[in-house]
Structure 1
Amino acid sequence: MMEIEKFTGSKLDLDRLLEKIKDWGKAVGRTSMRPVLCLYYVLKSPETPLSDKLLVVSALSYLVLPVDLISARRLPVLGWIDEVAAVTIAYKKVKKHITPEIESEVDNLLEKWFPELKYEILS
């Protein structure tokens, strides 16, 4: 993270970012959260180049900040398009940095946030 701090001149609070992502994730669900969390863990990785980290910060910031090109309140379906586009572009660019370890961390966090309901058949 030191690279981003040097570039931007401010410290990025990853824990706070994760909380904002979690809040956003409640609205979109487990499946939609997978690429977002992959981006988050790519951002945290020391192996990710600065240029890719800046792209990820931009995409994740666009998700959690109250700034929208297309308002989801006014146009519910179209309002999500700009967020989806930001995540998709960033994900495609940095997916080469998604390691099995990152995928495992994402799976663990998704299980914690969205536990699958387990049903038992009683006889």
Structure 2
Amino acid sequence: MKAMGILSLAAVEKYGKYFSDSGFWKKLKKVARKAGSKVIYVSLLLYYMMTGGTVSLKDKVLIMGALGYFIFPLDLIPDFLLPPLGYSDDLSVLLFVYSKIKAGITPEIKARADDKLKKLLGDTKTSSL
């Protein structure tokens, strides 16, 4: 199993138990400004990929794990300690999973993520990933 720092794919998948639709949207709205546009944008891409894309069960489990990691406040670097630093591990996990599934992200999924990011953060330019 390929490892990412101290996290492996299996470790990321275990955080899937913390994922729920309502928990995702609650966390996203609560921390959008603190977490930053890149964290929010990648989260949205993964969410829309999982819910609207053609994705394998294996990839859905991986995405749920990454989003569960984002939702769970007591991860490697707790989000509430130093908000910008606290989301750096979340971004690492989100980008790690994004790198595994990015080929399946369609222009429609990107457009949905762009639109939602603008609604959450105002006139924000999306990151090129």
Q: TM-score, normalised by structure 2?
A: 0.68
Shift of 1:72: 4.7
Gaps of 5+ in 1: 1-9, 118-123
Bigger relative contact order, structure 1 or 2 (CA pairs below 8 A, ≥6 apart)? 2
Shift of 1:37: 0.7
- Against the structure 1 CA distance between its residues 70 and 13, is the aligned structure 2 distance closer, same or farther, given a 3 Å change threshold? closer
After TM superposition, the runs of 4+ consecutive aligned structure 1 residues lying more than 3 A away are: 71-81
Instruction: Please point out which of 65, 69, 72 is paired with 1:58.
Output: 65
1:81 and 2:88 equivalent? yes
Note the alpha carbon deviations across 1:5-62, whole angstroms, 9 max, x for none.
Answer: xxxxx9x742442232222323123343211110110110251111111111111111
Given that residues 36 and 60 in structure 1 are in contact (C-alpha distance below 8 angstroms), is that contact kept between their aligned partners in structure 2? yes
Q: Report 1:7-26 matches (<5 A).
A: 13-26=20-33
1:97 and 2:104 equivalent? yes
Given that residues 45 and 113 in structure 2 are in contact (C-alpha distance below 8 angstroms), is that contact kept between their aligned partners in structure 1? yes
Letter matched to residue 87 of structure 1? L
Q: TM-score, normalised by structure 1?
A: 0.71
Instruction: Please point out which of 66, 71, 80 is paired with 2:78.
Output: 71
Given that residues 69 and 90 in structure 2 are in contact (C-alpha distance below 8 angstroms), is that contact kept between their aligned partners in structure 1? yes
Number of residue equivalences: 107
Find the counterpart in structure 2 of residue 109 from structure 1. 116
Q: Provide the alpha-carbon RMSD of the alignment.
A: 2.6
Find the counterpart in structure 2 of residue 35 from structure 1. 42
Letter matched to residue 46 of structure 2? L
- Against the structure 1 CA distance between its residues 67 and 46, is the aligned structure 2 distance closer, same or farther, given a 3 Å change threshold? same
Identity %: 32
Gaps of 5+ in 2: 1-16, 125-129
